[in-house]
């Protein structure tokens, strides 16, 4: 099976309106920049996007929000995006806010074939509204459904042509678990090498989870917030 594509445009060619996408990354670290750019150019609409955050106004998923491509966001932290806030408050965007650890586990469980799990996080808050509550060992827990997607879009530091991936630093927070939870996983990498060149002990995501891979270009690697001290 040849998994290698020339670029993002080719790799996302069959993503259509109203699909559910997972987009990896944490803040602006490790986000699938090339895939997002290709999605904006393609103009698909009505997307449900599962991502820890929603980028910033002019970068990451923020670019898709500007073009009104996103119908629903399932996220944890969205505080850096004014356009996201505007669309939420105006009722243009459906939003499902999820505690960060719960979001990570919902994705991991989806990739593992686990349909739901109980967690104490969120009990007694709006997060628990409409969800089953069960007492386990004297403590109340709420039932959370797992998450899967039509496509998972992830970004790795290095990958081989079989789809084995190595992530660097904070990019490892959501990308590996999302790679397991998509019906089709598309990986963009900074370095694409031949099979056998990666140290097996360093691989974070096995190629069995990745259906498409390409070498990305022109990564900006922006910093979401920069705090410096005065000289």
Residue pLDDT, tens place only, 47-68? 999 999 888 888 999 999 999 9
Delineate the domains of the chain, giving CATH numbers in brackets: 8-107+147-215 (3.40.1080.10)
- Phi and psi dihedrals of 179, rounded to 5? -60, -25
Rounded to whole angstroms, the Cα distance separating 69 from 204 reads: 31
Q: Taking all residues of the chain, what is their mean pLDDT, rounded to a whole number? A: 94
Q: What is the pLDDT of residue 228?
A: 83
Mean pLDDT across 116-138: 96
Q: What is the pTM of this model?
A: 0.93
**Mean pLDDT for the stretch of residues 106-118:** 98
| DSSP H or E segment with residue 100 | helix 100-112
* Amino acid 231: pLDDT: 67
Confidence class for position 230, pLDDT limits 50, 70, 90: confident
- Tell me how far the alpha carbon of residue 189 is from its chain's centroid: 15
pLDDT at 39: 98
């Amino acid at each position: 099976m040849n998994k290698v594509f020339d670029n993002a445009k080719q790799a996302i060619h069959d993503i259509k309106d109203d699909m559910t996408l997972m987009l990896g990354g944490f803040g602006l670290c490790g986000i699938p920049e090339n895939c997002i750019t290709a999605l904006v150019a393609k103009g698909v609409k009505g997307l449900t996007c599962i991502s820890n955050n929603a980028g910033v106004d002019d970068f990451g998923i923020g670019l898709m929000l500007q073009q009104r491509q996103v119908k629903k966001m399932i996220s944890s932290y969205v505080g850096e995006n004014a356009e996201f806030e505007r669309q939420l408050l105006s009722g243009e965007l459906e939003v499902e806010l999820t505690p960060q650890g719960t979001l990570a586990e919902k994705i991991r469980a989806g990739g593992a074939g686990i349909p739901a799990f109980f967690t104490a996080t969120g009990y007694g808050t709006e997060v628990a509204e409409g969800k089953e509550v069960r007492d386990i060992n004297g403590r109340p827990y709420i039932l959370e459904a797992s998450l899967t997607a039509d496509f998972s879009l992830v970004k790795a530091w290095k990958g081989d042509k079989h789809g084995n991936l190595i992530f660097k630093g904070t990019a490892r927070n959501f990308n590996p678990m999302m790679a397991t939870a998509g019906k089709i996983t598309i990986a963009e990498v900074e370095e694409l090498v031949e099979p056998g060149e990666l140290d097996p002990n360093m691989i974070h995501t096995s190629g069995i989870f990745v259906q498409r891979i390409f070498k990305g270009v022109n990564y900006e690697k922006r910093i979401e917030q920069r705090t410096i001290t005065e000289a």
